[in-house]
Structure 1
């Protein structure tokens, strides 16, 4: 085996005598490298999107919400206590949700207002850390305060510390709309989630929201976080079956599940593309070895006359192809890992050159291209490339065994 490997390396080093063999060998090696690099970058981008979904979106969006089937939730303290006793429930907190308008001078913007407990929110959600300048610590009850999303703040030209008017719809007993309630609030902080999540959201303290809506101690529902986020729907379904009250629920999958499904679908497509792209690149090795066998006929004939058997000849050209695949794979892994590591910075440079963002923050949940390298993906791509290189080397190697040394040497 060592003799076959050494001979294969000598053959590769001496390939420059034939310009065609050298050119095709370089092209096949570069094709493998580019294919592997592209796949590592693509898979790292998908990993980045999944990471941002879990650690940015699902860290600030509740895994599930429990509502009363009719109106507001009155006996929410008892329900919250029952939920917290469930081993699959990590945390539960009341919230109030309503739609309103924010007015700043002549500018108006629709907003989804969330009433949350400022103290409890810090313990159950990562939302406070996305408030700029660490302003969450000044967010408190009975202070006429509001936190608005950065997208909404930009749209309405609102800065931190400014006063805005919140318009709350009011309905009469006969379901007719009355003039909206107008409330002056100070913007205590700006929420920046780097995407569409902060385009139309505003936060006010839970107690203030109850007063503004005149609902006493009632709440809209209870936010719930579970210990296995991707099983949130089934875990919440089991949890409400143990409750005494008649309630319903929604999970994050209703609002953001399509993102996770899209990421997984694209990941599967990437793995399929991996086999096709690397396969095409590796089978360039076939043409390289076929020409190499033709070019090295005299050397093969001499080896056979010196006592080399067909098995050794076959191993020489299998090693020839495997070494080509190994060089291309290692080059592709290095290029792919380095590019994926700096992918976000590379995209920033490209965006500055073309003058606009690749990911629109008004459409996507983030406005930058994330990347996260998983060693497992790199290893799978590398092993697949090496296996395909081995398979591609078999036919030319077998063909080299059929060379008749007497016929070849007599022709020279």
Structure 2
């Protein structure tokens, strides 16, 4: 192996005399390095989006829900919570009552989805980070307080302390028309979740929401936070089928799952496309080695007449090609490892310098480019690139083995 390394290094130094071969060799190294760099960085961005989805959206949106079929609500919901919290798959459970109505302020109307929650439960710490400290203190000061999405407050020009009205549809047993009920509330502060949810989301106290919507049991349904959010489908169906009363079953992938599916789709597309970029760069290694074998036929013939075996010749040219590939892999990976964790700060700096916004908070659920480097992505990228480089060297090395010494020396 030491002799193969020496021969490969000698052939690489001799290769520099041919400018065309040197250019193709350099382009293959750059292509492989660039492919590894971009692949690791983009996978880190996908990881960042997934992290923000869990930390922001699922801090407010529950992993799963059970809500009563009848209008009275969940019967004996305190006992049900105590029982279901023993399930090892469940992290926490909250009672809730949801109201869909029209928010009214100074002649303007806006559709709103209000969730009534019990603020005394500690699991609310998951979404309290989306509320300012002053807003939270005001919210806990009285039952008539409400938190509104930031986008909703901006569209209606609302601020903390404003009085608003909420028109709630009134259900009747005989399906007859009845005027909506008007509920008056005080805006405590804004709820900043991100994206379109800020344009319709609101939160209020559970007892007030249940009273105004006619839920006699005190809670319309139960919100579940699970230890594994990605197992919500199976977990919620298992819990719902065994529940003591008839309930509807919902889980976060029904309402916000399109965000997660989009992230996974982009991840797959990025992986496939950039792997193909690396594969194309590896074809340059094939071209470089094929031309190197043709140029070094005389040297190969001399080595064979001196007793060099086929394995030595094959290893020599495979090492020569792998040097290009490994150089590109190392350079691209090292650059990505330094850039990926700092990508958010880099993009923020570029936005300030150019005035261009990469992500708009009005459209996406975040207003910055997230990034989270995961070492398994680095390992997969490096392994894939190395295997492709190894495969690219096999054919030229096999051609070198088949060189006929007599014909090469006579030619």
| TM-score normalised by length of structure 2 | 0.90
Structure 1 residues 204 and 382: CA distance shift in structure 2, 3 A = same
Write the mapping of 1:195-274 to structure 2, written as runs, cut at 5 A.
195-274=195-274
Task: Kindly indicate whether residue 137 of structure 2 is the aligned counterpart of residue 147 of structure 1.
Answer: no
Using the TM superposition, name which of 360-369 and 307-316 deviates more. Answer: 360-369
| Separation in structure 1 between the aligned mates of residue 100 and residue 51 of structure 2, nearest angstrom | 30
Is it true that 1:341 corresponds to 2:329 in the alignment?
Answer: no
Deviations 1:31-84 (A, max 9, x none): 111111221122222222222222222232111111111213152333333323
Contact map agreement 1:141 1:208 (CA 8 A) in 2? no
Secondary structure (helix, strand or coil) at the match of 2:225 reads strand
Structure 2 residue 94 is matched with structure 1 residue 100: no
Cα distance between partner residues in 2 of 1:135 and 1:126: 16
For 2:371, the equivalent position in structure 1 comes to 371
Give the alignment's Cα RMSD to 1 decimal. Answer: 2.6
**Residues 1:169 and 2:157 aligned together:** no
Whole-Å Cα distance in 2 between the matches of residues 74 and 220 of structure 1?
6
State the distance in 2 between where 1:78 and 1:68 align: 15
After TM superposition, give the deviation of residue 97 of structure 1 in Å.
Answer: 0.9
Residues in 1 aligned to 2:252 and 2:189: alpha-carbon distance in whole angstroms: 26
**TM-score w.r.t. structure 1 length?**
0.89
CA distance in 2, matches of 1:67, 1:132: 30
Verify the 8 A CA contact 2:164 2:185 in the aligned structure 1.
yes
- Judge conservation of contact 2:67–2:74 (CA < 8 Å) in 1: no
- Counterparts of 2:169 and 2:259, CA distance in 1: 35
Pairing 1:1-400 to 2, within 5 Å after superposition: 1-75=1-75, 76-120=77-121, 122-133=122-133, 135-140=135-140, 142-159=142-159, 161-171=160-170, 173=172, 175-178=176-179, 180-185=181-186, 187-349=187-349, 351=351, 357-400=357-400
Q: Which blocks of at least 5 consecutive residues in structure 1 are unaligned? A: none
* More moved, 316-325 vs 338-347: 338-347
Q: What is the CA distance between 1:280 and its match in structure 2?
A: 1.4
Change in CA separation of 1:17 and 1:403 when aligned onto 2, cut-off 3 Å:
same
* Distance across 2 between alignment mates of 1:225 and 1:125: 12
Give the aligned length: 408
- Using the TM superposition, name which of 128-137 and 2-11 deviates more: 128-137
Task: Judge conservation of contact 1:115–1:209 (CA < 8 Å) in 2.
Answer: yes
Q: Is the 8 A contact 2:37 2:336 kept in 1?
A: yes
TM-superposed deviation, 1:344:
2.5
In the alignment, the residues of structure 2 paired with residue 53 and residue 267 of structure 1 have an alpha-carbon distance, to the nearest angstrom, of: 15
Give SS of 1:42's match: helix
Are the aligned partners of 2:52 and 2:370 in contact in 1 as well (CA < 8 Å)? yes
Shifted more, 344-353 versus 46-55: the winner is: 344-353
- Kindly provide the CA deviation profile for residues 296-337 of structure 1, in whole angstroms up to 9, marking residues without a partner as x: 333334433443233212211010011111001111212333
CA contact (8 A) 2:149 2:190 kept: yes
1:338 deviates by: 3.0
Q: Distance in 2 between matches of 1:170 and 1:303?
A: 91
> In structure 1, what is the Cα distance between the partners aligned to 2:18 and 2:199?
63
Distance 1:153 1:43, change over 3 A: same
